[in-house]
Amino acid sequence: MALSGSSTDFISKPATPSNVMTFGAVGNGVTDDSNILGNIVAPQKKSEWKSSNVDTWIAFERINGLIVNGHGKIDGRGQAWWTEGNLNTSFESKGTIVGSPRPTALHFFQCNNLQVDGLNHINSQRNHISITNCNGATISNLHISAPETSPNTDGIDISGSTNIQILHCNIGTGDDCIAIIGGSSFINISNIACGPGHGISIGSLGENGKSDQVEEVHVKDSSFTATKNGVRIKTWQSSAVKISDVSYTRVQGTSINAAAITLNCSHTVPCTNIILDHVNITSTDPKQPTHADCINAHGSSIATFPPVGCLLK
């Protein structure tokens, strides 16, 4: 394992090789694993990075059976990235500051049968954790936090991945607690405490008419506390995006915005089999009622508030 950057603990400049057995790896030739027991701290200033044009701080790529656990802290010290220059918030260049992308703090790419458990992750430069093109992952017992004013600091982003479980996590950031992006399927999310942030979202998908697909996403037994969005599906209009078999079950909480449930699907390709079962999201302001918005979303709702009369059969 090689970690690069500058820090008070494990990460120093220039890149420093580390023996994973020092941090708890089994070393049996079968399992790839490591404990994070101390603190991993990012450089405090952009000038301390080897390059300001980086897209990832810590990356694990093409490792099967990787286990990352422990009760240590990963501190992205993202404040220097949040406040510098002008933030471009368009989807394709989301997270760009003055022409340079802000780094994802922890990225797993093509890591199959992955396990991540018990970490405390704070103040990422951009999104805290990205799971990309992975098959089989269990993410559990994480505490992820950043100020609600920190831009684009998603808790967990999932793209192009399948058979992913996210369990028993507390996530409060300046953007989506969990975002499911294109090419993902069989995503099971349960016992998540989300807030502040933008809720648990599917999207944004299909910009510039691109085709994409998300299916079999199931969220249950979770709560939102003062999130900007609660339940949200967002696709670009006139796109060829297929979203199907999505359920929210026993989800409750409060929303800052009046639109507590947003199911905005493409006019071209509808969302199908969207199920809301015992969802209850009220407003943080007792004087402001919540409501649901839909575009071309088909499915059903059971014992759900606000009522989702816009959901098509």
Q: Which two tokens stand for residue 223?
A: 């709560």
Of these ranges, 231-240, 249-258, 259-268, the one predicted with the greatest mean pLDDT is: 249-258
What local confidence, expressed as pLDDT, does residue 26 receive? 62
Each residue of 178-217: b (16+ CB within 10 Å) or e?
A: bbbbbbbbbbebbebbbbbbbbbbbbbbbeeeeebbbbbb
121 noted as active-site residue: no
**Cβ-contact 3, 59 below 8 angstroms:** no
How confident is the model over 147-158, as pLDDT tens digits? Answer: 999 999 999 999
**Cβ-contact 179, 172 below 8 angstroms:** no
Q: Which two tokens stand for residue 156?
A: 């967990």
How confident is residue 241, by pLDDT bands cut at 50, 70 and 90? confident
Residue 12 above 70 pLDDT? no
Lowest model confidence (mean pLDDT) among 16-30, 55-69, 115-129? 16-30
Taking the model in full, what pTM does it have?
0.86
How confident is the model over 188-207, as pLDDT tens digits? Answer: 999 999 999 999 999 776 66
Residue 292 above 90 pLDDT? yes
Domain ranges within the chain, ordered by starting residue? 32-302
**Cβ-contact 54, 85 below 8 angstroms:** no
How confident is residue 45, by pLDDT bands cut at 50, 70 and 90? confident
CATH topology of domain 32-302: Pectate Lyase C-like (2.160.20)
Contacts of 41 (CB under 8 A, 6+ apart): 7, 8, 9, 11, 75, 77
Rounded Cα distance, 262 and 305, in Å? 13
Q: Using only the alpha carbons of the chain, give its radius of gyration.
A: 19
What local confidence, expressed as pLDDT, does residue 49 receive? 77
% helix, strand, coil for the chain, step of 5: 5, 50, 45
Catalytic residue among 128, 198, 267, 278: 198
Residue 141 above 70 pLDDT? yes
pLDDT above 70 as % of the chain = 79
Query: In the beta sheet, which residues pair with residue 137?
Result: 114, 164
